[in-house]
Homo-oligomer: A and B are copies of this chain.
Amino acid sequence: MDTPDIGTQLSTFRQTIDNIDAALIHMLAERFRCTDQVGVLKAKYQLPAVDKDRERRQYERLTRLAQEANLDPSFVEKLMEFVISEVVQRHRQIAAIEQAASTDQAQATQYT
């Protein structure tokens, strides 16, 4: 079989890249759905925003997974820091919403 021309080869790779990108976005969306629920729990029970032990275990595991998958661990670490900073920002928004809801509820109780 002849080797496909360069345009066809590039196009084949790019279709795979596009499929993987769609999968990455949907995986991330599911990850945020899950971390948002953690945010609700933390806000509801006034748990600390950051759990240093959990973060350390996550980074250790991700470094190991990155090495096994032949990825630069420092790249994965920076990427996860970026994702986690978005999680923390969403947790703050969730906490503010929960706080406003409980204040409204307290005021409603006060004036009934």
Contacts and interface: CB of A to CB of B under 8 A. Distances in A.
Interface of A: 6, 9-10, 13-14, 16-18, 20-32, 34-35, 37-38, 41, 45, 47, 54, 58, 61-62, 65-66, 69-72, 75-76, 78-80, 82-83, 86
A44 to B, nearest CB: 9
A20 B34 contact: yes
Contact of A75 (B34, B69, B76, B86): B86
Contacts of A71: 25, 28-29, 32
Contact of A27 (B14, B23, B34): B23
Main secondary structure on A side of the interface with B: helix
As for how many copies of this chain the complex holds, the number is 2
A34 B17 contact: yes
Contacts of A26: 65, 69
A30 B75 CA distance: 15
Contacts of A34: 13, 16-17, 20
